[in-house]
Amino acid sequence: MRRFIIGDIHARFASMISVLKMAGFKPECDTLYSVGDICDRGEKAAETIVFLRNLPDFRPVLGNHDVWLEEYLLKGRKDDDWMKAGGLDTIDSLKNNFTESELKDIGIWLSAFPILRIEDKDIIVHGGIPAGYDEAELVGLSHIKRPSPLTSCLLENISSPQTEEEKLDAELQFFLWDRDYLFSAMKADGKQIPPKYKDRWDEKRMIPPLETERTIWSGHSQLIPEAKPFISPSYHLIALDTGAGSGKGKLTLFDMDLKEYWQEEIL
């Protein structure tokens, strides 16, 4: 059995199938992990979901685009930011291929995606590890059942959480959106922040590496125009959103144990 992890797919179905074939992925015996954002921006959301749901061993974490889709399927809300970021294409694809009952089942499927997935050798998260957490706290959070759907992308609706569920919801949001961990690692390693984010981040937000022996896998931040994964031994980090969602990057797949990777252009 081999263990693979794929970057932000964003409904790039043909590229996903191609890169899995390159690596010799065998669905009957191999495991596929995901750093989240399986839909939006590409037009093949339905095909992507069908393929991933049918895998015998698919282990995703929740991305911000998955939150938007889950919220729509379970609550009927179309987030304004989602509409600007590929949500309309996803809705069209799903409505043209699934019944209302099937759409509800997809929402329930998404509701099982955890914010953090921690196994023996790996920590998997969509955005990053926010400042102030140690590994024991992360392990604890990984075992907590999250609210479904999360009630506020970007925290805009939870400025003063009251209930315990609202407080947990607000805390978990940071793992979806965090970029400080990745950009701190890039600065520490003398790498340039991707041009897309240069004006949104400064060194005052530098945070230290997590003390861990595990590998941290993340997505969310598009590593373009280079479209290469970023690997930081000092921060125990491998970031693999190489811009498939942009339509200008590539989709990246890693063998989690060998640290070998494959990439496919957007097809």
The predicted-structure confidence for 7-28, as pLDDT tens digits, reads as follows 999 999 999 999 999 999 999 9
pLDDT given for residue 202 in this prediction:
86
Look at residue 206 and tell me whether its pLDDT is greater than 80.
yes
Mean pLDDT of the chain: 93
Burial class (CB in 10 A: 0-12, 13-18, 19+), 197: middle
Cα separation, 110 vs 148, whole angstroms: 9
What's the whole-number mean pLDDT along residues 181-196? 96
Measure the CA–CA gap between 129 and 236, rounded to whole angstroms.
11
Q: 């390693």: which residue's tokens?
A: 189
DSSP for the chain, please give it: --EEEE---TT-HHHHHHHHHHHT--TTT-EEEE-S--SSSSS-HHHHHHHHHH-SSEEE---HHHHHHHHHHHH----HHHHHTTHHHHHHHHHTT--HHHHHHHHHHHHT--SEEE-SSEEEESS---TT--HHHHHHHHTSPPPSS-S-GGGTT-SS--SHHHHHHHHHHHHHH--HHHHHHHHHTTPPPPGGGGGG--GGG--PPP--SSEEEE-SS--TTTT--EEEGGGTEEE---BGGGTSSEEEEEETTT--EEEEE--
Taking residues 49-53, what's their average pLDDT? 98
Q: Which residue has the higher pLDDT, 160 or 200?
A: 200
Answer yes or no: is pLDDT of 162 > 90: no
Contacts by residues 93-97 (CB-CB < 8 Å, ≥ 24 positions apart): 93/11, 93/43, 93/44, 93/45, 93/46, 93/47, 94/45, 94/46, 94/49, 96/46, 97/46
Task: Quote the CA–CA distance of 190 and 245 in Å, as a whole number.
Answer: 26
Task: State how far the Cα of 25 lies from the Cα of 27, in Å rounded to an integer.
Answer: 6
Q: Beta strand 230-232 with 215-218: parallel, antiparallel or unpaired?
A: unpaired
**What span, in angstroms and rounded, lies between the C-alpha atoms of 194 and 196?**
5
- Give the pLDDT band (50/70/90) at residue 168: confident
- State the Cα angle at 70 between 30 and 91, rounded to 5°: 95
Q: Report, as an integer, the average pLDDT of 169-197.
A: 93
